[in-house]
Each structure stands twice: as structure tokens, then as C-alpha cells.
Amino acid sequence: MGHFKHTLLGRLLADPMAVFAMLIISGLVLVALFADAISPHNYAEMNLVDRFAPPSSTYWLGTDNLGRDTFSRLAQGSRIALYVALVAVSISGTIGLILGMIAGFGPRWLDNVLLFIFDTLRAYPTIILALALAALLPRGLSTVIIVVVITSFSEYGRVVRTQTLSLKNAEFILAERAMGASSARIVFHHILPNVLGPFFILAAMNLPVVITIEAGMSFLGIGVPPGTPSWGATLKDGFDFIRTTPWIIVAGGLPLILVTLGFTFLGEALRDQLDPKLRKSR
């Protein structure tokens, strides 16, 4: 008891996949925090003389069609990616967590109503809904966040509902009721700690999905406003000149690939550690 190697972090550090994932994620966080300090150039500065420069010691990852330094733009873009991912996942996760527990624990009719809402929202393809909402809402990060929240909270809701439902008739819940606990107490003190494990796994797995949605929307021109150094905008700039200067789109795709790998590996490592059924079989 109390030994570090038995804590969650200790167990994660013993797993090479988790260490790799945490290295990538901490790298991303560090870059985002110190983006201004590590950027060799101002991300918005245009050097028309050096347009389409290939990677060199001055421009580590080359420049784009306006002569802006790609590395500095990607470093700045990590802030946007992290911001959107964390805000959107927290909002949709919280909504999904609460609605899922209500659906699982509440009366049957409420469960049916919420399930209907979850299923309806899940049936919409994210990008189509994004296009529709982008036509209605002003362009910007908040629109991206709204799109992500609307399309993804149902996923959390369904997972949490299923967990809650399987716990609802567990003997320890009956035991709590027999001890005089109210429904609110049972939900927040006894069911919540039991559903948090799967919930965090899902959230970790969803972070890169959100980053990709933001990049995708920016790529399509319905995400961030023009000039914002989002990874998706860099991809879009690179796409226009893919035949002549392919390094722009390659550089724009690299951080997306790394971040997706990092969070997916973290999610899987968390699942290995938090899911008791999987842990026993190891």
C-alpha cells in the first residue's frame, strides 16, 4: 500500500507504450506553453523574398506561399489544437457524463427520451453538421467547439449510461439504499467513481479526434478565420501547392499524426490499467 509503483502513474510508467505516449503529449504541452520562445520567427511575419523556401537552418520546416515560417506556425498551432481539444472534450464530456448517469439511473421514460437524442445526434456525420452550422454561426474557434460538443457528447452519454445501468442493480447499490442513501448520494458518491475510469479512457481517445475535426474544418475553410496558424490551415496552404512544394503539407500533417498516436496510445494504456477485467488477464 502506498508504493508508487502500484499507483496509476507508477503502473503507466512501467508500460513502454504509455511512456511513449506521455513523451509525445508532454512535448506537445511544452511546445504550446513556450511557443513564442521556441519559434525562430514571428508566425505571422511574411518574407516575400523567401516564399516557398525548402527546409533549411533558417526556416526549419520551410516557408509557405507568403513566406511565413512553417515551424513557427505549427508551434503556434499547437496552442489552438490543445485549446480546442481540452475545452470541447471537457464540455461534451461533462454533458455526456451527467446525461448518461441520468439516463441510466432515472426512470425508463427519461432513458428512452435521452437515448433517442443520443442516437439522433450520433446519426449526423460530423463534417456535414459542421458545414451546416458553419453556415449559421460566425467563423471561429467557438463554432468548432460547438460542432464538436453537439456531435460527441452523445458518445460519452451512451458509454456512461451503459455503465450506470449495469451498476444500478449491483448489490452494493442496494446495500447503499438499505443504508438510507438518497438517489443523488448514490449517483454522485457511488456510481460516479465507478464510471470515471471508462469515461477518462474515452476522453483520452477523443482528444485527437477533436484536434482532427478542428484541422478538418480549418482545411475546408469553415474553421478558424484566415491567417490563424491552425494545423488545418497549414495543411490547406500546403495542399494548394502540393505539386511544387510538398514539404508544407508534410510538415502540417506531422504534428497531427504524432498527437493522434500519443493520445490513442495513452487511451489504450489507461484502458489496460483501469479496466479490471483486462488487467486480470495480463
Partner 1 sequence: MSDTLNVEGLTVHYATQEGALQALRDVALDVPPGQIVGIVGESGCGKSTLINALLQLMPENATIAAGAIRLEGEELVGASQRRLRNMRGRDIAVIFQDPMTSLNPVLTIGRQMLDIQYRETRSRAEKLRRATEMLGRVGLPDPDAKLNAYPHELSGGQRQRVAIAMAVLMRPKLLIADEPTTALDATLEVQIIELLKELQQEIGCAILFISHHLGVIAELCHRVVVMYAGEAIEEGPVADVFLRPSHPYTAKLIECDPGRMKTKAALLPSIPGDLPDLTAPPEGCIFRARCDKATDLCRTKPMPVAVTGAHWARCHFAAGAGA
Binding site for partner 1 (CB under 8 A): 1-2, 170-172, 174-182, 185, 189-190, 193-194, 197, 276
Supply the minimum distance, in Å, between the C-beta of residue 107 and partner 1. Answer: 9
Supply the minimum distance, in Å, between the C-beta of residue 67 and partner 1. Answer: 56
* DSSP bridge partners of 69: 63
Closer CB to partner 1, residue 37 or residue 184? Answer: 184
Closer CB to partner 1, residue 121 or residue 181? Answer: 181
State the Cα–Cα distance between residues 134 and 81, nearest whole angstrom: 19
Closer CB to partner 1, residue 2 or residue 138? Answer: 2
Spatial neighbors of 204 by CB under 8 A, at least 6 apart, are 263, 266, 267, 270
Supply the minimum distance, in Å, between the C-beta of residue 165 and partner 1. Answer: 15
State the Cα–Cα distance between residues 282 and 277, nearest whole angstrom: 9
State the Cα–Cα distance between residues 184 and 188, nearest whole angstrom: 6
State the Cα–Cα distance between residues 216 and 239, nearest whole angstrom: 13
Supply the minimum distance, in Å, between the C-beta of residue 274 and partner 1. Answer: 10
Nearest to 220 by CA among 202, 205, 239, 207: 239
Closer CB to partner 1, residue 112 or residue 142? Answer: 112
Supply the minimum distance, in Å, between the C-beta of residue 17 and partner 1. Answer: 24
Q: Which three cell numbers stand for residue 48?
A: 516575400
Taking the CA atoms of 129, 131, 137 and 140 in sequence, report the sign of the dihedral they define.
positive
Supply the minimum distance, in Å, between the C-beta of residue 96 and partner 1. Answer: 20
Closer CB to partner 1, residue 103 or residue 222? Answer: 103
Q: What is the DSSP string of 217-254?
A: HHHTTSSSPTT---HHHHHHHHHHTTTT-THHHHHHHH
Closer CB to partner 1, residue 107 or residue 138? Answer: 107
Closer CB to partner 1, residue 188 or residue 239? Answer: 188
Burial (CB count <10 Å: 0-12, 13-18, 19+), residue 135: exposed
Supply the minimum distance, in Å, between the C-beta of residue 184 and partner 1. Answer: 11
State the Cα–Cα distance between residues 266 and 279, nearest whole angstrom: 16
